Structure 1
Amino acid sequence: MRKTVPITIFVLLSFGLSWLIALPLWLGGGLANPFFTLVALAIMFTPAIAALVVVFFVEKHPDGRSRWRALGLGSVRPVGRFLRYLALALVVPPALILAALLVGAVTGVYPADFVNFSGFQETVDAQLEALGQASVAVPIGILVAAQFINVAIGAVINTIPAFGEELGWRGWLLPKLLPLGVVPAILISGVIWGLWHAPLILLGYNYGAVPGGLALAAMVGMTIVIGAVFSWLRIRSESVWPAALAHGAFNAAVGFSLVFVMAGETFSPLNATILGWTGWLVPLVLVIVLLATGQFRAPATRQSVAPVESVPVAGSE
């Protein structure tokens, strides 16, 4: 069997299932469809389904252990290294999202209020008014600090649906592409991941009224740079779990843009936050540094993700 056949089947299955599940949104209501959240969650599991189908029915594995290793679900030893990358997975994505807001503020594309949190105060007041309450005794600074705790909790909860994606993208697909070199593997997997979002992006998800083609291109740009960070965690830990936790933390932290925005101001997702081009700058610098310092090599103790003899590491020493 040619090496490209499993990858082709995986891509067709993940894309086909995502469009099939999203069909009710296209038939009525779009993002306003009452079942949108349920549909979006279901779509997140399509890469995992595709990966499982390929591993169990397309590829030839000598035993069950080989199958789980192909999915990034093998041994987590050494435990210290595994826990270290889990910790990084919990911290790095929210840090990159906050850095994106800072860069956006400096470049003038994100109207930030990092002192009084006026936009967040406005949101809290509106929510209290809707509940029939005049005000809250807790200072706004305390409420902002509480959002960081919410992100940590949300990261763990979000890891469950994020695992549905990561089992496919970084668990199975990335190692299959690594023989092309690290940089090509990151680029190709990032493009595939971005285009897979088309059923929702073309309905206005994430980018609102931005024309569909431009919104999808921006999504691909974001998934390449963020996917590179997730790929680093996958390769160095030799496990899919840090990538899944990072994905969960990323999804939990995207709401920071509403916490630090200035009251009464708006911004374009094409330019600001992690979704826009200014938000890609810090993760891109991080990825370049990681490449330059050889941090995309699999650990020397075991080469289950990327055998040295078959993986030319493009862009690193």
Structure 2
Amino acid sequence: MKRPLLIFIVLAFGLSWAAALPLWLGKGLASPQLAWVATLMMFTPTAGVLGAWAVSRTPFREWARQTGLTFGDRKKRTAVLLLTTWLGVPLLVLLAMGLSAAVGVVSLDLDQLSLLRAALRARGMTVPADLGGVAVLQIVVAALAGPALNAIPALGEEWGWRGWLLPRLVSSNGMVAGLVFTGAIWGAWHAPLTLLGYNYPRLGSWAALFFIGFCVLFGVLAGWLRLRTGSVWPSVVAHGSLNAVAAPALLLGDAAAPPNEVLVGVTGLVGWVLLAIVGAALLRFSPVRRPQPVA
């Protein structure tokens, strides 16, 4: 039981650090290699799953079922939750921005869209006359197409974290502990980027610790989807949608008072509270059964 877990952790973490070396040896997050490094890292948990499978001697069809590559035993439920997640995660992200504005930790500039305007200019792009229409289109496209466009790299992570690791940790440690441990490991895995300030540049290297908190809370939602359906695909959609929508939503802020990412949005403290409420409600009112131990 311990050997596959060790293989998984060594491959997922070791390869992620190897992938991120160009950033650490170069310009850090300012490196033009950041995008492909971050994408390459997302496939290292899959390498961990394949390493664990290599020592399991389990037929691949059975391994695929155990690790959630199928649609589970109740395919209609999986399809419904997949669609709900596809639409629900963008709404959750926008709700977090709205709550951030309501409690006064961010100023939204929905009239002039000054932060989006500044971001376009910083990239050397021409600001369109109908910037409001562009902003709406950007968010709509991110919400509708993001999960599909991000599906392959999101699967690269989710097959490892929610597909293989989560059922294993839940079966051996209990529901809540398994969800928390999986989220914490997932968050710590991001250290090659977050130690450089990724996602929370104001925090510097402390971003690595702070991001673990977010990963635990969002991991409860992604984990509930996995355990409720027996499939990793709703978790893939949740992850892909988050990656597509979270950044454009922050650009709705005011350039004169840019959002503090530690507080604002779904990845900030306001979002943490929202995610905690949603996660607790799901576990309380739609509980999932403890899975059987996996190889």
Provide TM-score, normalisation by structure 2.
0.91
Q: Which structure has the larger Rg over C-alpha atoms?
A: 1
The question of whether the paired residues in 2 share the 8 Å contact of 1:65 and 1:74 is answered with no
1:120, 1:172 → 2: CA distance? 40
Distance in 1 (alpha carbons) for counterparts of 2:47 and 2:116: 42
User: Kindly tell me: are residues 139 and 254 of structure 1, through their superposed partners in 2, closer, same or farther at Cα, counting changes over 3 Å?
Assistant: closer
Between the two proteins, the alignment pairs up a number of residues equal to 292
Which of the numbers 239, 245, 248 marks the counterpart of 1:256? 248
Aligned to 1:206: 199
Cα-to-partner distance string for 1:101-132 (whole Å, 9 max, x where unaligned): 1221122222223x42533563477379x456
1:4 is displaced (CA, Å) by: 2.6
Say which SS state the counterpart of residue 210 (structure 1) adopts. helix
Aligned pairs for 1:77-226 within 5 A: 77-113=73-109, 115-120=110-115, 122-123=117-118, 126=121, 130-131=124-125, 135-136=128-129, 138=130, 140=132, 142-151=133-142, 152-179=144-171, 180-212=173-205, 214-226=206-218
What's the RMSD between the two structures over aligned residues? 2.3
> Paired residue for 1:13?
11
**Which residue identity does 1:226 align to in structure 2?**
F
Name structure 2 gaps, 5 residues minimum. Answer: none
Q: What residue in structure 2 maps to residue 38 of structure 1?
A: 36
Cα distance, 1:77 vs structure 2: 4.8
1:66 partnered with 2:73: no
Q: 1:242 to 1:131 in 2, by over 3 A?
A: closer
Q: Which residue of 1 aligns with 2:20?
A: 22
* Identical residues among aligned pairs (%): 35
Partner-residue secondary structure (3-state), 2:68: coil
State the SS of the aligned residue for 1:12: helix
Residues 1:124 and 1:31: Cα distance change in structure 2 (over 3 Å): closer
Contact 1:104 1:272 in 2 (8 A): yes
Question: 287, 293, 297: which is aligned to 2:285?
Answer: 293
Decide whether the 8 Å contact of 1:98 with 1:256 is kept in 2: no
CA distance in structure 1 between the aligned counterparts of 2:126 and 2:203, rounded to whole angstroms: 35
One-letter code of the match for 1:46? T
Residue 75 (structure 1) shift: 4.7
Counterparts of 2:16 and 2:119 in 1: how far apart (Å)? 35
Greater shift in the superposed pair: 72-81 or 242-251: 72-81
What SS does structure 1 have at the residue aligned with 2:150? helix
Change over 3 Å in CA distance of 1:11–1:125 after alignment to 2: closer
Task: Write the letter of the residue equivalent to 1:18.
Answer: S
Q: Is the 8 A contact 1:6 1:54 kept in 2?
A: yes
Distance 1:45 1:221 in 2: 22
Kindly provide the amino acid, as one letter, of the partner of residue 205 in structure 1.
Y
Q: Which has the higher helix share?
A: 2
Cα distance in 1, alignment partners of residues 35 and 116 from structure 2:
26
Give, as a single letter, the amino acid of the residue that structure 2 aligns with 1:50: G
For residue 60 of structure 1, report the CA deviation from its aligned partner.
3.6
Contact 1:218 1:276 in 2 (8 A): no
User: Taking structure 1 as reference, are residues 118 and 234 closer, same or farther at Cα in structure 2, changes over 3 Å only?
Assistant: same
Q: Deviation digits for residues 66-103 of structure 1, max 9, x if unmatched?
A: 21122211354543222101112212221221122122
